[in-house]
């Protein structure tokens, strides 16, 4: 699958192949465990209640990685491979990294069609608002995570 991105940064296909061979459930399990630790306070506060019983699919187009996440009211979890998720976020790894590190505004990424959303737009807006409201400095391990992600963005820009 060939993807054209305005940012010009595509994950190298040689490195993407091994990632695409990892089962989707494993990707989802690893991501959900990490997010449960990082977002423990927001989960306890009920900030993710809008996701209860819903399924979010993340598709990282240039890596061939896709996985489904759900929320059971207490924690994020691997949702399995549902044929029809409630919401799908699609984009390339670089643009997801820009979103997570807040180097690029989410509205800009969506309006430039570098990140795409499909499905329940109300849920999509709720997720966008949730992400925008997070105070990065209040997250556990924020310095380590921010440092790691910043290095990942810098490395990504050098290799692509």
Res. 8: pLDDT tops 70: no
Res. 102: pLDDT tops 90: no
Residue that wins the pLDDT comparison between 49 and 151: 49
Q: What pLDDT is attached to residue 146? A: 81
Classify burial at 22, counting beta carbons within 10 Å of its beta carbon; exposed 0-12, middle 13-18, buried 19 or more: middle
Domain ranges, ordered by start, for the chain: 13-159
Residue that wins the pLDDT comparison between 149 and 82: 149
Classify burial at 50, counting beta carbons within 10 Å of its beta carbon; exposed 0-12, middle 13-18, buried 19 or more: middle
Q: What pLDDT is attached to residue 81? A: 65
Average pLDDT over residues 75-85: 84
Q: 104-136: per-residue pLDDT in tens?
A: 888 899 899 999 999 999 999 999 899 888 888
Task: Give the span between the Cα atoms of 84 and 10, in whole angstroms.
Answer: 27
- Domain over 13-159 is classified CATH 3.30.1050.10: yes
């Amino acid at each position: 699958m060939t993807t054209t991105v305005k940012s010009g940064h595509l994950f190298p296909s040689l490195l993407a192949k091994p990632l695409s061979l990892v089962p989707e459930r494993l990707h989802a399990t690893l991501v959900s465990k990490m997010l449960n630790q990082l977002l423990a306070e927001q989960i306890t506060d009920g900030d993710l209640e809008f996701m209860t019983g819903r399924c979010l699919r993340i598709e990282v187009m240039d890596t061939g990685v896709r996985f489904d996440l759900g929320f059971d009211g207490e924690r994020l979890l691997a949702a399995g491979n549902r044929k029809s998720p409630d919401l799908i976020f699609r984009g390339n790894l670089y643009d997801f990294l820009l979103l997570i590190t807040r180097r690029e505004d989410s509205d800009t990424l969506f309006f430039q069609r570098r990140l795409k959303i499909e499905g329940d737009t109300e849920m999509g807006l709720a997720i966008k608002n949730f992400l925008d409201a997070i105070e990065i400095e209040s997250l556990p391990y924020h310095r380590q995570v921010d440092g790691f992600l910043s290095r990942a963005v810098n490395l990504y820009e050098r290799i692509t």
